[in-house]
Amino acid sequence: MDRAESSSSVNYLTVPASSGYDAASEVLSANYGNGVAATFTYNSRLQLATLAYAIGSSTLYSLAYDYSSGTANNGQIQSITDNVDNGRSATYTNDAWSRLKTAATTGSAAYPAWGLTWSYDRYGNRQQQSILSGCSAPMSCPTNSVTPSPTTNHLTDSGYSYDASGNMTSDGSNTLTYGDENRVTNSANGGSAGAYAFDGNSLRVTKTVSGATTIYIFSGTKVIAEYASGAAASSPSNEYIYVGPQLLSTLTGPPASATAVYHIADHLSPRVTTDSSGNVVDQQAHFPFGEDWYASSTTTKFKFTSYERDAESGNDYAMMRTSINRLGRFSSPDLLAGSIINPQSLNRYAYALNSPSNLADPSGLTPDSNWWNWFMDISRQGAGLLRFMLLDNPDAGYTFRGGRIVFVEPDPLVEAEKDYEKQLNLVTNCEARNGVVIPGSCKTMTVEAYDDLVRNGNLPGPVIPVAPAASGLKASDNFQGGKPVPDDSQPPNCPLRFRGCKKRAGVLLTELPSDPLSPLF
């Protein structure tokens, strides 16, 4: 692990070369730089079965996962047993569409029991979050009830409003303002306000609250350092070290005298923070959709999965969007239009297909069922920040309807006649600025290599729409007399393995095959 802008030679994480992996390349053990030892086991389906973190003979955090629904394993977590305090153990049920239906804890003196239940409409909008059990004083549980529109999926209750692009401008607590790319640029309520600025990659690079500005430095899609406005390059406020997508360590103060803490995660989020000697200094947990359950001391601001919790609004910065955790939905519609292969994905506001105990959405675009496994080679699970398979025409432009990316489904019969598996294993990633592909930036690689880059945070950011003039497309290739070719035609640049290309606004639609391994499709 390399620390940004640091001369330190500390090994923040070590995986034993000879005994650290099983035959499936899943990590069995790892050692933190502060002496904490992590161990993992897996079931016959290669799902996480147990995790444990210990310092010497003292167990700091330990969980056991059960996926059995009756006698069958349907891939969904049914219960999590906490071996340090059984009161934090939880059970889950899901409905027929894999949406979270109930969640309840066992309860103990230190962690009183709670139980919540959820209801949804036919379009995948969360309608209610209600108390199922427990939640007795002084314990309090978050509840809400909303009325989604069956035609727009917008919330119609008093206190909620939207702009013409479908962005929520009032979330019931905050007034939200959006920029040209539908990113939240301002939030305000009666007590606090925040202003946010983004770069050309849609990464949030500054945040100003109460006159104080924080500047964020990114490597790929991960914040690696924060500076106060005007601070010298050698004086970051915080530096962050990751293992894959998960936060591993936070260093506070100038590099020469920085104080390091290490974060211990469950399958979703940081849960325990330890100091340089392995002592527990902070603990935190959240309810299933991200609201705070408990927190001791001053915990990390990365509370729910990989999201930064904005204290000024209570909302989560989810990279491409903002997550309103108390509502279990995003404030803006997804850039990805979803797929009829998974009808729940057609609701572009719902958080992680309404399956927050099983999925995470690190980019605000793509729910990921394998987010927890930050060590292993996750390519076989179809993971990735944003996998765009451009196939035979890597520089073709994306087409939008109402500002959202549109995909064309492949013809299954044609797919069966072609070497689909070989093609599926190739992916092209392009770097773009202001909607234009940077010449020479498109690189074709295997899915495994691509996911390696994603896991290590080395991609420049999500591929964004490409202007046709900059992509090298000629009028003769895609147009007839300067007008769009009819949808049922087959222009020369259209990949032959598909039933035909479609275009909107004069731009060839990029074909995206339905990846059977991807949790999105």
3-state secondary structure labels for all residues of 137-174: CCCCCCCEECCECCCCCCECCCCEEECCCCCEEEECCC
For residue 256, the model assigns a pLDDT of 84
For residue 94, the model assigns a pLDDT of 95
What are the C-alpha distances in Å from 104 to residues 77, 114, 326?
13, 6, 17
Q: Are 501 and 397 a contacting pair, CB within 8 Å?
A: no
Which has the minimum average pLDDT: 184-188, 206-210, 236-240, 416-420? 416-420
- When pLDDT is cut at 50, 70 and 90, the band that residue 243 belongs to is confident
What are the C-alpha distances in Å from 374 to residues 23, 156, 172, 263, 306?
17, 39, 35, 13, 12
For residue 464, the model assigns a pLDDT of 33
Residue 352 DSSP class = G
- When pLDDT is cut at 50, 70 and 90, the band that residue 29 belongs to is very high
pTM (2 d.p.) = 0.72
Q: For residue 485, give the nearest of 473, 503, 511 by alpha carbon.
A: 503
- When pLDDT is cut at 50, 70 and 90, the band that residue 326 belongs to is very high
Residue 446 has pLDDT above 60, yes or no: yes
For residue 188, the model assigns a pLDDT of 97
Phi and psi for 421 in degrees, rounded to 5?
-60, -40
For tokens 């007034």, the residue is: 175
For residue 423, the model assigns a pLDDT of 45
User: 301 CB contacts (<8 Å, ≥6 apart)?
Assistant: 308, 309, 311
For tokens 């509840």, the residue is: 143
**What is the C-alpha separation between 407 and 380, in angstroms, rounded?**
23
User: Which domains are seen in the chain, by residue range?
Assistant: 13-346 (2.180.10.10), 380-521 (no CATH)
Whether residue 486 is preceded by a cis peptide bond, meaning omega within 30 degrees of 0, is: no
What are the C-alpha distances in Å from 506 to residues 245, 465, 471, 493, 500?
38, 14, 13, 14, 15
Name the more confident of 92 and 436. Answer: 92
Name the more confident of 515 and 274. Answer: 274
**What is the C-alpha separation between 205 and 199, in angstroms, rounded?**
6
Over range 46-63, report the average pLDDT: 96
Q: For residue 516, give the nearest of 439, 435, 447, 438 by alpha carbon.
A: 447
Residue 350 DSSP class = B
Over range 24-52, report the average pLDDT: 94
Over range 11-39, report the average pLDDT: 92
DSSP of 178-225: E-TTS-EEEEE-SS-EEEEEE-TTS-EEEEEETTEEEEEEEETTEEEE
Q: What percent of the chain has pLDDT over 70?
A: 69
Q: Are 427 and 388 a contacting pair, CB within 8 Å?
A: yes
290-317 confidence digits (pLDDT tens)? 999 999 877 799 999 999 999 999 999 9
For residue 36, the model assigns a pLDDT of 97
Residue 333 has pLDDT above 90, yes or no: yes
What are the C-alpha distances in Å from 280 to residues 23, 223, 263, 277?
33, 24, 10, 9
Task: Pick left, alpha or beta for residue 66 (phi over 0 → left; psi -120 to 50 → alpha; otherwise beta).
Answer: beta
Name the more confident of 488 and 82. Answer: 82
Which has the minimum average pLDDT: 279-283, 366-370, 476-480? 476-480
